[in-house]
Structure 1
Amino acid sequence: MKYFWVTVGLLAGCSAPYNVPTDNLGRPISSVKIEVTTIETPDLDAEEPGSRYVVRRGDTLFSIAWRFEQDPDVLKRRNQLTSDLIRPGQALKLRGEVPPEPEPEPKTNTTVKTSPTIRAEPEPERKPPVLEKPAPQLKKREESRPSPKATPVPQMTGWQWPVNGPILKRYSSKTRSSRSLQLGGEAGTPVKAAASGRVVYAGDGLVGFGNLVIISHKGKFLSAYGHNQSLGVKVGDVVQRGQVIAAMGSTGTDRVKLHFEIRRQGRPIDPVSLMPKRKS
């Protein structure tokens, strides 16, 4: 009987998918196959081959680019997106080949080339001049229709300080968290847009920034305003330099302050280099 019992034990041990601790003998064993498709922590290394990010509710293309310090235009081209719109559950590649930038200029030139061909037709010239006048008038009306549909992007008219509070911590390139300015002030102090642009993110989905506003500017600049008490703008809003966009607070941090950061093509730069000199 002992020999029969030992044989069964050995067969059971060989058939097990992995070594089972002695204290779990007699309990059902289940093996789970795990497939990792994304890393949800802020420590995700975007340089790792095959890295990708799964879009979550509240994300925007610009907030994802900001989180992983990438150029939004490059991220857009790498994933072959035709617009800035993304949807929850969509997987975005953070590394890989990037198609070249499309050239929109020849498209506009082709439309312009069609107009002179119509003017060069010999037949309307033989007809009375009355028939020639309504044709260009109709074309001018059609060309003026698409212009009001597209909201104009405000031109850069310079930079200004978002608040007048003191600089608590200056820009430094040593660490990722220090590549910004930390500005002091009282809770509720109006936070103003440092330059004209369009709001591309407004929310609290980026860990460590609290209530955050990101504005896109001409010249591929992005400016960010974090730790706000409340937000006064939403994604898609066009703002002018000096317009109030938020109120200072302490969300995501230990004291009232403003996290002020500027990036160009995904790379942080010292905001002081763009701001007017302060009177001291």
Structure 2
Amino acid sequence: MNKQFLLYIVVFTNILLSGCSSRHVPAPVSSLNNNVNDLRGTVNINGGYYKVQKGDTLYSIAFSAGQDFRVLAKNNSIPAPYIIFPGQTISLTAQPVKIKKHKKYTNPSKKSTEKKQKSNKKLKKELDPPKQREYVQKQASNKVSNTKRLSSSKVQWLWPAKGKVTKRFSNKENGYKGLQITNHKGAPVLAAAQGTVVYAGNALRGYGNLIILKHNDDYLSAYAHNSKLLVKEKQKIKAGQKIAEIGNSESSVTALRFEIRYRGKAVNPAKYLP
């Protein structure tokens, strides 16, 4: 009887243990979240650093921070073509420059000072004319480089959509930094100038489905709140090409939010559009 009783206890204990262990089997990932896109974070610039998330580009981070992408790349030692990786930390402020300590200066003797003064006077007489010529040459080369810089900044702009302008650019701190062009859902959104797609997605908070085009090293344009994006990153775009459709993603109004950025700073699009 005792042996039989012990056997019953062992069997009963095993049943209990197997029941408990089955309750702790983790649920499959698919049952927790069927939409992978929900796991993607949003660009939220806070403080002096930003952690790169899937779908980010250096351009989208610079756009959100209101900075020139070249300055951001330089501050973080990121060479062209500006490839970044999820989990990478981007500094949003310039790194402090280390100042080299100079050796203590010791005063030379009187004789050596007099000799140096005499030799310096002779050198000055000999070197003055070349310095003057060099200065004139530098001025001329600066004028040429400035002209090139100005010509490279010129972009032929077109209106990005048809419709009524219901909001205009404001220079105020919390003002609207673009133009709001109202139209029906699905109306075409056109590239305002020739360029390359440097961002296409919905990770920038407050912009919904967004496209950013790079036109040259100085100018970017942005097209926000679209219902559909019709282009991909790195795609070359012609001026007037249909790139999206008007929508109301992250907006209470069905309209296009259009922005122009010059070296990272928002400028009034009305001054550029025909």
TM range (shorter): 0.5 to 0.7
Query: 2:176 & 2:76 partners in 1: Cα distance?
Result: 30
Query: 1:229 & 1:182 partners in 2: Cα distance?
Result: 15
Post-superposition Cα deviations, 1:71-93, rounded to whole Å, max 9, x if no partner, equal 00000011111231101000111
Q: Which residue of 2 aligns with 1:72?
A: 69
Report SS of the residue matched to 2:257: strand
Report SS of the residue matched to 1:175: coil
- 1:176 is displaced (CA, Å) by 3.8
Matches within 5 A, 1:164-179: 164-176=162-174, 178-179=176-177
Query: 1:181 & 1:190 partners in 2: Cα distance?
Result: 16
How many residues are matched? 178
Q: Give the residue type in structure 2 aligned to 1:44.
A: N
Post-superposition Cα deviations, 1:129-152, rounded to whole Å, max 9, x if no partner, equal xxxxxxxxxxxxxxxxxxxxxxxx
Distance 1:74 1:229, change over 3 A: same
Alignment TM-score, normalising by the size of structure 1: 0.60
> Percentage identity across aligned positions?
39
141, 163, 170: which one aligns with 2:161:
163
Query: 1:248 & 1:96 partners in 2: Cα distance?
Result: 37
Report SS of the residue matched to 1:199: strand
Structure 1 vs Structure 2 CA RMSD: 2.0
Q: Which residue of 1 aligns with 2:46?
A: 44
Matches within 5 A, 1:119-130: none
Post-superposition Cα deviations, 1:200-256, rounded to whole Å, max 9, x if no partner, equal 000000011010000001251010000000000011001011001000000010120
Contact 1:162 1:194 in 2 (8 A): yes
Post-superposition Cα deviations, 1:46-86, rounded to whole Å, max 9, x if no partner, equal xxxxx111100110000000111010000001111123110
229, 232, 247: which one aligns with 1:231:
229
Which structure is higher in helix share?
2
Report SS of the residue matched to 2:273: coil
Q: Give the residue type in structure 1 aligned to 2:197.
A: V
Report SS of the residue matched to 2:53: coil
Larger Rg: 2
Contact 1:70 1:267 in 2 (8 A): yes
Distance 1:98 1:72, change over 3 A: farther
Post-superposition Cα deviations, 1:247-267, rounded to whole Å, max 9, x if no partner, equal 000001012000100111111
| Unpaired runs of at least 5, structure 1 | 1-39, 46-50, 100-153
87, 90, 107: which one aligns with 1:89:
87
Query: 2:155 & 2:43 partners in 1: Cα distance?
Result: 38
Q: Which residue of 2 aligns with 1:252?
A: 250
| Unpaired runs of at least 5, structure 2 | 1-41, 98-151
Runs of 4+ in 1 over 4 A off after TM superposition: 154-157
Report whether the alignment pairs 1:54 with 2:51.
Answer: yes
Contact 2:190 2:240 in 1 (8 A): yes
